[in-house]
Chain A
């Protein structure tokens, strides 16, 4: 498929190398141009710290803890989000019963649920999984709901005229047809999950990459902080790539243009965008809605 995969990989590697090179230059020269890089650890400092961490056992415990938390939370969110999204999109009763509750809970940033998690769950571990799950749940729910509502009605009618039951329509039309949209939500969800699992670990975790990063900060071990950040970046990249690849594999039936603009070998995918950039608009809309709620509250106060 790809015509020159080698040159594309070279370009990607060069982009990472250039970023690291710039970092090294700014920090090793102790450049202070309003932004102060003199206190910053250099790339080599961080690399040394990283090498030290890799040989210890704590690093791997942190890694597996964080991964277990995010994968459990994300898997729960995927199942619950898809199920609720389909239910709300397909049943007016479910929409009326669940819709208002979901819309009220949705603008609350998942990380603000830490007090709720502490009250609800007997252990920290479950609380973190709960927060991670809540974070990913809403993007998955919303994109599933939209995808199910946007299904071509003819597909469902075709299966109905074959005598297909509701369950058959769900399995043969609704779920496969909504899959491209669902994966859009999953891509956003995995990004938001990382933000929340790290924040939750910083607040209340025992072990975990977020916990370790915060610990290093409190003891002024800046190279250690950067090791944590790099770890989060790489793990986030790997998990969102995994979601992306799975999505591509399951939606291979999507028609793609054979025309390739500007030497790009793949048609731009309309749905599953990379998780990181997408997580920001999500945050934005959340804060926007928060803002809207605030102004409405303010107006109410004014009325009272």
Chain B
């Protein structure tokens, strides 16, 4: 009796643990579109399994940085590296979560989560069960058969999260994924993100314009401003809601806000 329930949960739990995150790096890179470079002299290294948050005012090149890591945009100069080798293009190893409306509107939530698995060539039955289990983890079991426009913005982002993680990527790149959500939904989503990332070992680069979000989620915070990476700071007690009052955290928060304000 209990074995049957164990066999359902068993494959989901240990499989992601076997996956190790990628090491991502920029070496004096110039980033942007060919006619409009936005970031210059970027030197940044993201350790395997680390969560790096990137903050900066809008238009400062956060999305450009992320899209370069995703392989959608080649660096204009210098180098972008994955595990020490050059980053040549998009790969299923590096999943990208968009701000909004990146789900295919003609596929149900389940269909969307199944898509990366279908691309990888996972057999239909396994695809279905893995999608269902991911949708359950993000709390969308009931809405699995709904089309994206039939569910709320928060539910769409949860489905996107499930889609990104379904194929156990070694890195997850997130472009202001909760930017369009209200404050309450947003903090719930942050908790959910921490929850579902636990044990995957995936490297995460998380772009946001919300300093509190960056400080809550990130092991380190990278600040963008004036066309470069202006600072990379260690975050004391990351992913700990109680650390909000920590004096070290409060000081860091002040620092970041000051440098963003200038």
Taking Cβ atoms with an 8 Å cutoff, the residues of A that contact B are 152, 154-155, 157-164, 168, 172-173, 176-177, 179, 251, 253-255
Contacts and interface: CB of A to CB of B under 8 A. Distances in A.
Contact of A158 (B91, B98, B106, B149): B98
A154 B102 contact: yes
A255 B93 CA distance: 32
A248 to B, nearest CB: 13
Contacts of A157: 70, 72, 96, 98, 102
A154 B103 CA distance: 9
Interface in B85-104: 90-96, 98, 101-104
Contacts, number: 63
B120 interface: yes
Nearest to B103: A158
The main secondary structure of chain B at its interface with chain A is loop
A172 B115 CA distance: 9
Given A176-B106, A253-B147, A159 B115 contact: yes
A258 to B, nearest CB: 11
A122 to B, nearest CB: 43
A162 B95 contact: yes
Interface in B125-175: 147, 149, 167, 173
A158 B70 CA distance: 10
Interface in B209-261: none
Contact of B106 (A152, A164, A253): A253
Given A158-B103, A160-B72, 6 more contacts: A157-B70, A158-B98, A163-B91, A176-B104, A177-B104, A255-B105
B149 A168 contact: no
12 contacts: A152-B101, A154-B101, A157-B102, A158-B98, A161-B71, A161-B94, A161-B96, A162-B119, A173-B104, A177-B104, A254-B105, A255-B149
A36 B170 CA distance: 81
The list of the 10 closest CB pairs from A to B, nearest first, reads A163-B92, A253-B106, A255-B149, A162-B116, A161-B96, A160-B90, A154-B102, A158-B102, A161-B90, A176-B106
A162 B106 contact: no
Interface string B160-203: 00000001000001000000000000000000000000000000
Contacts of B102: 154-155, 157-158
A161 B66 CA distance: 12
B106 A161 contact: no
Question: Which of A152, A157, A176 has the largest number of chain B CB atoms within 10 A?
Answer: A157
Q: A interface, by DSSP: helix, strand, loop or mixed? A: helix
B95 A161 contact: yes
Contact of A159 (B70, B93, B119): B119
B167 A162 contact: yes
A177 B106 contact: yes
A59 B104 CA distance: 48
A254 B147 CA distance: 9
Interface string B68-91: 001110000000000000000011
Interface in B26-79: 70-72
Contacts of A173: 104
Nearest to A164: B119
B72 A162 contact: no
Most A CB within 10 A of own CB, among B72, B91, B104: B104
Q: Which of A152, A154, A177, A179 has the most CB of B within 10 A?
A: A154
Contacts of B120: 163
A160 B73 CA distance: 12
A160 B94 CA distance: 11
A168 B90 contact: no
Nearest to B98: A154
Contacts of B98: 154, 157-158
Contacts of B70: 157, 161
Contacts of A176: 104, 106
A162 B105 contact: no
Contacts of A160: 71-72, 90
A89 B93 CA distance: 29
A254 B173 CA distance: 29
A154 B94 CA distance: 16
B96 A158 contact: yes
A254 B104 CA distance: 11
Contacts of B91: 161, 163
A253 B119 contact: no
Contact of B104 (A163, A172, A179, A251): A172
A269 to B, nearest CB: 16
Contact of B90 (A163, A177, A179): A163
Contacts of B96: 157-158, 161
A177 B103 CA distance: 12
